Amino acid sequence: MMMAGPCSVESEDQLRTIARELKKSGVKILRGGAYKPRTSPYAFQGLEVEGLKILRKVADEFDMLVVTELMSPDVLDEFETYVDIIQIGARNMQNFSLLKALGKSTKPILLKRGMAATIQEWLMSAEYIMAYGNDDVILCERGIRTYETYTRNTLDISSVLAVKELSHLPVIIDPSHAAGRWNMIESLSLASLAVGAHGLIVEVHHDPEHAMSDGAQSLKPKKYAEMAIKLDKVSKVLDKKLV
C-alpha cells in the first residue's frame, strides 16, 4: 500500500498540486502533517485543524484516504471527523496516555517506530493500543538513531522480518525519514519491497527547495512516478505486491 504526500500541509493549493500528481501514479492514501513535531519551537508547527480540513477536502476531490499525525489526545475528536488513518510519530511511540486514548478510536493507527526503540518496545506500544480496544494497527519502520550521521537515521530493514515473525500486524517502511536524502528513496523503497514490507510512506513535494519541512528528503512528483513504475515491475518479479 503506497502512502505519499508532503511532510507538512502548507496550503490548499500546495496539497492539491501534489495530490493531483500522486493520483496519476496510483496513490490512494495521501499523507501530510497538520500537527508537526518539530525539534525547534520556532520552526513551522503546522496548520493544525485547518490542515486537517484541507487534507479531507483535497483527498475527497481525488478519492483518496488521509493519513496524518496526531500528537495529543486533545484533538482526537477532530481526527475522528477528518482523518482515515491516524499516524503516531516516532517521538510519541511511548506516549502511553496517547496510546491508551487510541484504543478508543474507530480509526486504524499507523504506529511509527521510536528513533531509539527496540523491536520489542515497538510491539509493546502496539499492544497498548490493542489492549485498550483498537485492533487496527499498522507498524511503520522509519529508521533508528545510530552513530552514523551521513543519513538522517539508519533504516533497519531487518525489523520488517522480525515483526513478521513476532506478530500478525502489517508493517510498512518510511524511507524518507530513514534516509533524510531524496536520492536514496528509490533504492530504499525497492529494498523495502524485497524484504517484504506491506507498503511504503514517502514524502513528495512539487517544490522541495521551498518546502516548509523536510524538503531535502522529498521526491518531486516526476521522480515518484518513475519510482512507482519500477516498484510495480519489481513486485511482479518478486511476486509481492505494493498496491
Q: Which residues bind ligand PEP (CB under 6 A)?
A: 7, 33, 37, 89-91, 112, 142, 174, 177
Distances, alpha carbon 47 to alpha carbons 12, 32, 35, 53, 70, in Å: 11, 11, 7, 10, 13
Q: Of 186 and 214, which CB lies nearer to ligand PEP in the complex structure?
A: 214
Residue 234 CA to residue 232 CA, distance in Å, equals 6
From Mn ion, ligand PEP, none, interface partner of 152 (C-beta below 5 to 8 A by class): none
C-alpha cell at 33: 502533517
**CB 157, CB 192: distance < 8 Å:** yes
* Residue 214 binds Mn ion (CB under 5 A): yes
Category of 240 on φ-ψ map: left (φ > 0), alpha (ψ -120 to 50) or beta: beta
Which residue lies nearest ligand PEP, judged by its C-beta? 89
* Residue 71 binds Mn ion (CB under 5 A): no
Dihedral over alpha carbons 134, 8, 95, 174 (to 10 degrees):
70
How deeply is 225 buried, as exposed, middle or buried, from its count of CB atoms within 10 A (0-12, 13-18, 19+)?
middle
Distances, alpha carbon 116 to alpha carbons 94, 111, 130, 140, 217, in Å: 11, 14, 22, 14, 21
From ligand PEP, Mn ion, none, interface partner of 90 (C-beta below 5 to 8 A by class): ligand PEP
The CB-of-236 to ligand PEP minimum distance in angstroms stands at: 29
The CB-of-89 to ligand PEP minimum distance in angstroms stands at: 3
The CB-of-162 to ligand PEP minimum distance in angstroms stands at: 18
From Mn ion, ligand PEP, none, interface partner of 100 (C-beta below 5 to 8 A by class): none
DSSP helix/strand/coil, 199: strand
* Residue 66 binds Mn ion (CB under 5 A): no
* Residue 179 binds Mn ion (CB under 5 A): no
The CB-of-102 to ligand PEP minimum distance in angstroms stands at: 15
From ligand PEP, Mn ion, none, interface partner of 89 (C-beta below 5 to 8 A by class): ligand PEP
CA angle at 138 for the pair 166 and 216, rounded to the nearest 5°:
115
Q: Of 10 and 214, which CB lies nearer to Mn ion in the complex structure?
A: 214
The CB-of-182 to ligand PEP minimum distance in angstroms stands at: 14
Binding site for Mn ion (CB under 5 A): 7, 214
